Structure 1
Amino acid sequence: MVNQLFLTAGIIVLIAGVLSFYRLLAGPDATDRVVALDAMTIISLSGIAMFACCFGRVIYLDVALVYGILSFLGVIALARYLEKEL
Protein backbone atom coordinates (compact mmCIF):
# COMPACT_ATOMS: atom_id res chain seq x y z
CA MET A 1 0.00 0.00 0.00
CA VAL A 2 2.77 2.44 0.90
CA ASN A 3 4.73 1.53 -2.23
CA GLN A 4 1.70 2.30 -4.38
CA LEU A 5 1.35 5.64 -2.64
CA PHE A 6 4.99 6.52 -3.34
CA LEU A 7 4.63 5.37 -6.95
CA THR A 8 1.54 7.53 -7.44
CA ALA A 9 3.24 10.51 -5.81
CA GLY A 10 6.31 9.99 -7.98
CA ILE A 11 4.23 9.95 -11.14
CA ILE A 12 2.47 13.15 -10.09
CA VAL A 13 5.82 14.81 -9.34
CA LEU A 14 7.16 13.71 -12.72
CA ILE A 15 4.13 15.08 -14.58
CA ALA A 16 4.35 18.37 -12.69
CA GLY A 17 8.04 18.61 -13.52
CA VAL A 18 7.41 18.06 -17.22
CA LEU A 19 4.66 20.69 -17.27
CA SER A 20 6.87 23.20 -15.46
CA PHE A 21 9.73 22.48 -17.85
CA TYR A 22 7.41 23.16 -20.77
CA ARG A 23 6.43 26.49 -19.19
CA LEU A 24 10.12 27.27 -18.67
CA LEU A 25 10.82 26.76 -22.37
CA ALA A 26 7.64 28.28 -23.81
CA GLY A 27 7.02 31.10 -21.36
CA PRO A 28 6.00 34.30 -23.11
CA ASP A 29 8.24 36.49 -20.95
CA ALA A 30 10.96 36.30 -18.33
CA THR A 31 8.68 36.46 -15.31
CA ASP A 32 6.81 33.34 -16.44
CA ARG A 33 10.13 31.56 -16.83
CA VAL A 34 11.23 32.58 -13.33
CA VAL A 35 7.97 31.30 -11.86
CA ALA A 36 8.37 28.04 -13.79
CA LEU A 37 11.94 27.69 -12.51
CA ASP A 38 10.74 28.27 -8.96
CA ALA A 39 8.01 25.67 -9.45
CA MET A 40 10.58 23.21 -10.75
CA THR A 41 12.74 23.70 -7.68
CA ILE A 42 9.76 23.10 -5.41
CA ILE A 43 8.91 19.97 -7.39
CA SER A 44 12.48 18.72 -7.12
CA LEU A 45 12.42 19.43 -3.38
CA SER A 46 9.37 17.24 -3.03
CA GLY A 47 11.11 14.56 -5.09
CA ILE A 48 14.17 14.69 -2.85
CA ALA A 49 11.99 14.46 0.26
CA MET A 50 10.10 11.53 -1.22
CA PHE A 51 13.40 9.82 -2.07
CA ALA A 52 14.59 10.35 1.51
CA CYS A 53 11.39 8.86 2.87
CA CYS A 54 11.48 5.86 0.53
CA PHE A 55 15.05 4.90 1.34
CA GLY A 56 15.12 6.00 4.98
CA ARG A 57 18.01 8.44 4.52
CA VAL A 58 17.57 11.51 6.70
CA ILE A 59 20.60 13.29 5.22
CA TYR A 60 18.67 13.97 2.01
CA LEU A 61 16.23 16.12 3.97
CA ASP A 62 19.14 18.36 4.94
CA VAL A 63 20.15 18.53 1.29
CA ALA A 64 16.57 19.48 0.37
CA LEU A 65 16.54 22.20 3.02
CA VAL A 66 19.77 23.78 1.79
CA TYR A 67 18.61 23.49 -1.81
CA GLY A 68 15.34 25.21 -0.90
CA ILE A 69 17.11 28.09 0.82
CA LEU A 70 19.47 28.60 -2.12
CA SER A 71 16.57 28.41 -4.54
CA PHE A 72 14.64 31.04 -2.60
CA LEU A 73 17.62 33.39 -2.63
CA GLY A 74 18.10 32.81 -6.35
CA VAL A 75 14.49 33.62 -7.15
CA ILE A 76 14.67 36.78 -5.04
CA ALA A 77 17.82 37.84 -6.91
CA LEU A 78 16.20 37.17 -10.29
CA ALA A 79 13.07 39.09 -9.29
CA ARG A 80 15.15 42.08 -8.20
CA TYR A 81 17.09 41.90 -11.47
CA LEU A 82 13.88 41.83 -13.51
CA GLU A 83 12.61 44.87 -11.64
CA LYS A 84 15.88 46.62 -12.56
CA GLU A 85 16.71 47.27 -8.90
CA LEU A 86 19.79 45.09 -8.67
Structure 2
Amino acid sequence: MNLMDYAYTVTFVLLGAAVLLALYRLLRGPSVMDRLVCLNTISVLLVSFIAVEVALRGDPAYIGVVITFALLGFVGSLTAARFAERRAHDRG
Protein backbone atom coordinates (compact mmCIF):
# COMPACT_ATOMS: atom_id res chain seq x y z
CA MET A 1 0.00 0.00 0.00
CA ASN A 2 1.25 3.43 -0.85
CA LEU A 3 0.61 6.70 0.96
CA MET A 4 -2.54 7.55 -1.03
CA ASP A 5 -4.14 4.22 -0.08
CA TYR A 6 -3.60 5.08 3.59
CA ALA A 7 -5.05 8.53 3.03
CA TYR A 8 -8.17 7.08 1.40
CA THR A 9 -8.57 4.56 4.20
CA VAL A 10 -8.27 7.21 6.90
CA THR A 11 -10.69 9.45 5.01
CA PHE A 12 -13.30 6.69 4.75
CA VAL A 13 -12.93 5.84 8.44
CA LEU A 14 -13.33 9.48 9.48
CA LEU A 15 -16.34 9.97 7.20
CA GLY A 16 -17.90 6.82 8.63
CA ALA A 17 -17.31 8.02 12.18
CA ALA A 18 -18.86 11.39 11.31
CA VAL A 19 -21.94 9.67 9.88
CA LEU A 20 -22.31 7.58 13.04
CA LEU A 21 -22.07 10.67 15.23
CA ALA A 22 -24.60 12.49 13.08
CA LEU A 23 -26.95 9.48 13.24
CA TYR A 24 -26.65 9.49 17.02
CA ARG A 25 -27.60 13.17 17.12
CA LEU A 26 -30.40 12.50 14.65
CA LEU A 27 -31.90 9.92 16.98
CA ARG A 28 -31.27 11.87 20.20
CA GLY A 29 -31.86 15.40 18.88
CA PRO A 30 -33.98 17.41 21.28
CA SER A 31 -35.73 19.38 18.55
CA VAL A 32 -36.90 19.02 14.99
CA MET A 33 -34.36 21.60 13.81
CA ASP A 34 -31.52 19.54 15.30
CA ARG A 35 -32.74 16.56 13.34
CA LEU A 36 -32.98 18.57 10.14
CA VAL A 37 -29.43 19.85 10.57
CA CYS A 38 -28.26 16.26 11.11
CA LEU A 39 -29.99 15.11 7.93
CA ASN A 40 -28.25 17.91 6.05
CA THR A 41 -24.93 16.91 7.60
CA ILE A 42 -25.45 13.29 6.58
CA SER A 43 -26.23 14.34 3.01
CA VAL A 44 -23.02 16.39 2.87
CA LEU A 45 -21.06 13.44 4.26
CA LEU A 46 -22.63 11.15 1.67
CA VAL A 47 -21.60 13.53 -1.11
CA SER A 48 -18.09 13.64 0.36
CA PHE A 49 -17.93 9.86 0.55
CA ILE A 50 -18.95 9.50 -3.11
CA ALA A 51 -16.49 12.22 -4.16
CA VAL A 52 -13.62 10.44 -2.40
CA GLU A 53 -14.70 7.18 -4.03
CA VAL A 54 -14.63 8.92 -7.44
CA ALA A 55 -11.14 10.19 -6.70
CA LEU A 56 -10.03 6.72 -5.60
CA ARG A 57 -11.33 4.96 -8.69
CA GLY A 58 -10.48 7.74 -11.11
CA ASP A 59 -13.78 7.15 -12.92
CA PRO A 60 -15.61 10.42 -13.66
CA ALA A 61 -18.89 8.57 -14.38
CA TYR A 62 -20.11 9.17 -10.83
CA ILE A 63 -19.70 12.95 -10.94
CA GLY A 64 -23.35 13.21 -11.99
CA VAL A 65 -24.36 11.22 -8.92
CA VAL A 66 -22.34 13.57 -6.69
CA ILE A 67 -23.97 16.63 -8.23
CA THR A 68 -27.44 15.08 -7.95
CA PHE A 69 -27.01 14.24 -4.26
CA ALA A 70 -25.59 17.69 -3.56
CA LEU A 71 -28.53 19.40 -5.26
CA LEU A 72 -31.06 17.19 -3.48
CA GLY A 73 -29.43 17.98 -0.14
CA PHE A 74 -29.48 21.69 -0.91
CA VAL A 75 -33.14 21.67 -1.96
CA GLY A 76 -34.01 19.61 1.11
CA SER A 77 -32.29 22.13 3.36
CA LEU A 78 -34.12 25.01 1.73
CA THR A 79 -37.43 23.23 2.11
CA ALA A 80 -36.78 22.48 5.77
CA ALA A 81 -35.73 26.08 6.45
CA ARG A 82 -38.85 27.39 4.77
CA PHE A 83 -40.99 24.97 6.79
CA ALA A 84 -39.29 26.06 10.03
CA GLU A 85 -39.77 29.73 9.14
CA ARG A 86 -43.47 29.26 8.50
CA ARG A 87 -43.87 27.26 11.67
CA ALA A 88 -42.15 29.96 13.74
CA HIS A 89 -44.23 32.65 12.05
CA ASP A 90 -47.47 30.79 12.78
CA ARG A 91 -46.56 30.45 16.44
CA GLY A 92 -46.13 34.17 16.63
TM-score normalised according to structure 2 size? 0.87
Paired amino acid for 1:37: L
Could you say which structure has the higher helix fraction?
A: 2
Q: Gaps spanning 5+ residues in structure 2: where?
A: 88-92
Q: Choose which of 33, 36, 39 in structure 2 pairs with 1:37.
A: 39
Q: Which amino acid in structure 2 is aligned with residue 84 of structure 1?
A: R
User: What letter matches 1:56 in structure 2?
Assistant: G
- 1:15 correspondence with 2:17: yes
- For 2:68, the equivalent position in structure 1 comes to 66
Indicate whether 1:75 and 2:77 are aligned: yes
Deviation of 1:57 after TM superposition, in Å, equals 1.4
Q: Which has the larger radius of gyration?
A: 2
Percentage identity across paired residues of the two chains: 28
| More divergent stretch after superposition (61-70 vs 34-43) | 61-70
The size of the alignment, in residue pairs, is 85
Q: Does 1:55 align with 2:69?
A: no
Offset, 1:75: 1.1
Shift of 1:47: 0.2
Give the AA of the match of 1:30.
V
Residue identity opposite 2:36 in structure 1: V
Q: How high is the TM-score relative to the length of structure 1?
A: 0.93
Uncovered stretches (5+) of structure 1, i.e. residues with no partner: none
RMSD value, Cα:
1.1
